[in-house]
């Protein structure tokens, strides 16, 4: 049994991870493109018009996955940054750096699409409500992480400084998630919970297809970026000259 | 195709177009930035590889 076990530690070395990541990228990128097309098709041509919100609710098919990805990627970034810091694992720190721009983009998308949905639904572009404000703070945390890392020349010192910020900021994620329960909020509560599912099946299908698409897109883009970070940081390594030859 | 007609006429359609437009525009920008990074890396790698070869030859000759 132990003979068949994958040696995960092997892939903690950039030299081993670099070619593996290269092989994995198309396996995530191609299904992501297919899911985007399928999700848009179901969301626009199959899902019915909402009885209350009319057509503008279709914004939620992309708003909800973007918001989930923004939070999920932050947690992943903090975990990788923490592992990189605690175990002095440079690849984990590189993963955290690679995740940050994609997480920031999804958080920005969730804020913009939320605002574009809020105007017709609530009559306002923005309110200083707990959910919206804590999501804005999430965007600032991402921007802070990226700025802090790029302001420090030494890569390992930048990794450690980023890890502190990422780990302190992770407290904001449960605040975002539970904000609609803890405070009176204009933002609605969770539509999908463990015990209830308040959505037409075709609407849920569109949302989950786009969630899958965003998820696979994030993995593909992060793998591409981490390969470039490896190449930038380890440019003197002999293995890299062979791998990129 | 009621939805197509809706997108051509309704005043709120711009919010839906805007949402999906912003999403795909940002994703496209992210991919373009990555391609640019790849080009910069390739440009930087060329002289570095040449330098490494000559350095290797020098040290090899020294060890002879």
pLDDT value at residue A223: 97
Q: What is the CA radius of gyration of chain B?
A: 26
What's the first-to-final CA gap in chain B, in angstroms? Answer: 79
Alpha-carbon gap, residue A80 to A89, rounded angstroms: 9
Residues of B in contact with A109 (CB under 8 A): 22-23, 26
Residues of A in contact with B10 (CB under 8 A): 55
B52 CB neighbours in chain A (<8 A) are: 236, 241
Q: What chain B residue is nearest to A29 in terms of C-alpha separation?
A: B31
Q: Do B12 and A54 touch (CB under 8 A)?
A: yes
Predicted confidence at residue B50, as pLDDT, reads: 60
Q: What are the CA-CA distances from residue A222 to residues A97, A102, B20 (Å)? A: 9, 7, 22
Question: Which residue of chain B is at minimal alpha-carbon distance from A218?
Answer: B27
pTM: 0.87
B18 pLDDT exceeds 80?
yes
**What pLDDT is recorded for position A13?**
84
Distance between CA A72 and CA A59 in Å, rounded? 20
With a cut of 70, which residues of chain A have pLDDT below it?
1-6, 8, 190-198, 245
How far does B51 lie from chain A, in Å, by closest CA? 11
Q: Are B21 and A210 in contact (CB under 8 A)?
A: no
Q: For residue A119, what pLDDT is reported? A: 87
Interface check for A217 against chain B (CB to CB < 8 A): the answer is: yes
Task: Give pLDDT, residue A48.
Answer: 78
Contact assessment for residue A104 and residue A149, using Cβ atoms and an 8 Å cutoff: no
pLDDT at B64: 47
Q: Does ipTM come in above 0.85?
A: yes
The token pair at A160 is: 């450690």
Q: Quote the CA–CA distance of A113 and A186 in Å, as a whole number.
A: 16
Tokens, residue A68: 């989930």
Residue A183 is predicted with a pLDDT of 79
Q: Report the gap between the CA of B60 and the closest CA in chain A (Å).
A: 15
A79 or B50: which leads in pLDDT: A79
pLDDT beyond 80 at B62: no
Residues 32-51 of A with CB under 8 A from B: 40, 44-45, 49
Restricting to A residues 77-136, those with a Cβ less than 8 Å away from any Cβ of B are 101-102, 105, 108-109, 112-113, 116-117, 119-120
């Amino acid at each position: 049994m132990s003979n068949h076990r994958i040696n995960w530690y092997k892939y903690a070395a950039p030299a081993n991870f670099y070619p593996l990541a290269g092989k994995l990228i198309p396996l995530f990128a191609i299904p992501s493109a297919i899911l985007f097309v399928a999700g848009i098709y179901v969301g626009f041509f199959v899902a019915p018009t909402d009885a209350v919100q009319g057509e503008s609710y279709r914004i939620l098919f992309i708003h909800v996955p973007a918001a989930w990805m923004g939070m999920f990627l932050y947690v992943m970034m903090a975990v990788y940054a923490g592992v990189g810091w605690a175990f002095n694992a440079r690849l984990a720190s590189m993963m955290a750096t690679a995740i940050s721009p994609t997480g920031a983009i999804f958080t920005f998308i969730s804020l913009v699409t939320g605002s574009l949905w809020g105007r017709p639904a609530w009559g306002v572009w923005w309110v200083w409500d707990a959910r919206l404000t804590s999501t804005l703070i999430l965007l600032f945390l991402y921007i802070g992480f990226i700025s802090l890392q790029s302001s420090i020349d030494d890569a390992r010192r930048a990794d450690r400084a980023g890890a502190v910020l990422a780990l302190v900021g992770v407290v904001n994620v449960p605040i975002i998630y539970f904000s609609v329960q803890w405070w009176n909020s204009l933002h609605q509560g969770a539509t999908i919970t463990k015990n209830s599912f308040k959505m037409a099946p075709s609407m849920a299908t569109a949302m989950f297809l786009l969630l899958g698409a965003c998820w696979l897109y994030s993995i593909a883009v992060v793998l591409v970026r981490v390969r470039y970070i490896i190449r930038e940081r380890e440019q003197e390594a002999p293995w890299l000259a062979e791998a990129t030859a | 195709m009621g939805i197509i007609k809706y997108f051509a006429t309704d005043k709120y359609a711009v919010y839906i177009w805007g949402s999906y437009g912003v999403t795909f525009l940002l994703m496209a920008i992210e991919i373009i930035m990555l391609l640019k990074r790849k080009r910069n890396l390739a440009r930087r790698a060329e002289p570095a590889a040449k330098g490494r070869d000559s350095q290797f030859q020098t040290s090899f000759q020294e060890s002879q």
